[in-house]
C-alpha cells in the first residue's frame, strides 16, 4: 500500500535518531488548525518538548502570514495557540521569543506578553532572546547583533514571574559565559549561533564544564567515524536521493574552525558534494586536508570567555511588574 504524502513528509521533517534525546521540536505558524495538526503529527515521534516560534524576525516568516516575532504583538492569539498546542501533546510546551518588537520594547510590554500567554495557556517555559527585533530594514543576521542586548530584562522576568521557567539566549558564546549566567541564577541557557559556528570548542566542553561529567577523551577522527556510520544509514532515506551527502555533511563544515587545513577542507568539501554518494567516500576525499595532529587531538582546555558578562546585572533590573495592575486594565 502506498504511503500518504503527509506520512512521507512526517518522516522527512520529524524523524530523528534516538540518540538525540532530549530533543525539542519547534513549530511556527498563525493558523490554529494547522498548529493543532502539526502538534498531533509530532506526537508519534516522542519529542521531549514542543516549542512555539515567536522570535524569528526573518521577512519570510514575520513578513508573511504574521508569525514568528510578529506574534509578540498579539499575546491573546499566542495564548490561544499554546492552549491548542498543549491540548494535542502529552509533553511540555514552551515559547521562544524576543524582548520586544520595534517600538514595543519596554519591559512592561514584555511582561504583559508573558503574563497573558501564561494566563491563557499551560505555558510555563519561555526562552528569551535578550534583544528586541526590528522588522523593517535589517536582515535576520543584523537582527542578531544590532539591537542591543538587555540581559537585565531576562533577570527581571525571573524576579517577577517566580512560577515560570526562563531560559536566556543571545550573545552567549562559550561555556565560560554559560556558567556566568548560571551563577547569577539563570534557569537555563541556550547557545545557538556559537555552537553552529564553532561546535568543537563550544560544545566539546559542555559535559565537563556545565554538568561535571568526566571528559570522554574523544577526538574529531573518532567522532567522524561514528558520524560516517550514521550518515550512510540515513542517506536517501526520504526518497528522491534525499538527504544527500551535502545535506548530511553540512553540520560538520565548521568542525575545524580556525584549525590548520580548515580552508582546504571546505574547498574539498564543495567539490566532493558534486559527486560523492556516500559519507565514506566524502571523508576519504576531504579529510586529507586536515593534519593528523588536529584529527587525533582530544578537546583542549576550556576556551576563554567573558566571565564578567553578567556582572552587577541585578543592579540594573527595571522596576517590578505588577500583574494585579494588568488584571485591572484587562477587566
171 carries a ligand binding annotation: yes
Confirm or deny that 193 is annotated as ligand binding.
yes
- Whether residue 192 is annotated as binding a ligand: the answer is yes
For 199-223, b where at least 16 C-beta lie within 10 A, e where not — what string?
Answer: bbbbebbeeebeeeeeeeeeebeeb
Is residue 232 helix, strand or coil?
helix
Q: Nearest to residue 283, comparing CAs of 326, 248, 242, 236? A: 248
Quote the CA–CA distance of 173 and 168 in Å, as a whole number. 12
If you search the block for the grid coordinates 564544564, which residue do you land on?
Answer: 209
Measured between alpha carbons, how far is 236 from 238 in angstroms, rounded to an integer? 6
Q: Are 219 and 297 in contact (CB under 8 A)?
A: yes
Half-sphere exposure of 272 (CA within 13 A, CB side): 28
And the C-alpha cell for 232? 550512510
Active site residues per annotation: 56
Q: Is the peptide bond before 197 cis (omega within 30 degrees of 0)?
A: no
Q: Is 173 annotated as a binding residue?
A: no
Helix, strand, coil distribution of the chain in percent, nearest 5: 50, 10, 40
Is 46 among the annotated ligand-binding positions? no
d(CA 38, CA 204): 33
Instruction: Give per-residue burial for 2-37: e unless 16+ CB within 10 Å, then b.
Output: eeeeeeeebeeeeeeeeeeeeeebebbbbeeeebbe
CA-closest candidate to residue 310, choices 143, 168, 132, 114: 168
Contact between 318 and 153 (Cβ < 8 Å): yes
Q: Which residues are annotated as a binding site for FMN?
A: 26, 96, 129, 169-171, 192-193
Q: Which residues are annotated as a binding site?
A: 26, 96, 129, 169-171, 192-193
Amino acid at each position: 500500500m502506498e504511503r500518504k504524502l503527509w506520512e512521507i513528509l512526517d518522516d522527512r521533517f520529524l524523524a530523528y535518531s534516538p540518540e538525540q534525546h532530549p530533543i525539542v521540536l519547534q513549530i511556527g505558524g498563525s493558523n490554529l488548525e494547522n498548529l493543532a495538526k502539526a502538534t498531533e503529527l509530532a506526537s508519534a515521534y516522542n519529542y521531549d518538548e514542543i516549542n512555539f516560534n515567536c522570535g524569528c524576525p526573518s521577512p519570510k516568516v514575520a513578513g508573511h502570514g504574521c508569525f514568528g516575532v510578529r506574534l509578540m504583538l498579539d499575546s491573546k492569539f499566542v495564548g490561544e495557540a499554546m492552549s491548542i498546542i498543549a491540548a494535542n501533546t502529552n509533553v511540555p510546551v514552551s515559547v521562544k521569543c524576543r524582548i520586544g518588537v520595534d517600538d514595543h520594547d519596554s519591559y512592561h510590554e514584555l511582561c504583559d506578553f508573558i503574563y497573558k500567554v501564561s494566563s491563557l495557556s499551560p505555558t510555563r517555559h519561555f526562552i528569551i532572546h535578550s534583544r528586541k527585533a526590528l522588522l523593517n530594514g535589517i536582515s535576520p543576521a543584523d537582527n542578531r547583533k544590532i539591537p542591543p542586548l538587555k540581559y537585565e530584562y531576562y533577570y527581571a522576568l525571573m524576579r517577577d514571574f517566580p512560577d515560570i521557567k526562563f531560559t536566556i539566549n543571545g550573545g552567549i558564546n562559550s561555556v565560560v559565559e554559560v556558567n556566568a549566567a548560571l551563577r547569577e541564577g539563570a534557569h537555563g541557557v541556550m547557545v545557538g549561533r556559537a555552537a553552529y559556528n564553532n561546535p568543537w570548542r563550544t560544545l566539546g566542553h559542555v559535559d565537563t564544564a556545565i554538568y561535571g561529567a568526566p571528559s570522554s577523551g574523544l577526538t574529531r577522527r573518532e567522532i567522524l567515524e561514528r558520524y560516517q556510520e550514521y550518515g550512510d544509514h540515513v542517506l536517501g532515506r526520504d526518497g528522491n536521493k534525499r538527504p544527500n551527502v551535502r545535506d548530511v555533511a553540512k553540520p560538520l563544515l565548521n568542525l575545524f574552525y580556525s584549525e590548520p587545513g580548515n580552508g582546504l577542507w571546505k574547498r574539498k568539501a564543495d567539490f566532493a558534494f558534486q559527486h560523492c554518494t556516500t559519507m565514506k567516500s566524502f571523508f576519504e576525499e576531504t579529510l586529507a586536508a586536515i593534519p593528523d595532529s588536529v584529527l587525533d587531538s582530544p578537546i583542549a582546555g576550556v576556551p576563554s570567555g567573558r566571565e564578567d558578562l553578567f556582572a552587577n546585572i541585578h543592579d540594573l533590573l527595571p522596576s517590578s511588574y505588577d500583574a494585579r495592575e494588568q488584571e485591572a486594565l484587562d477587566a
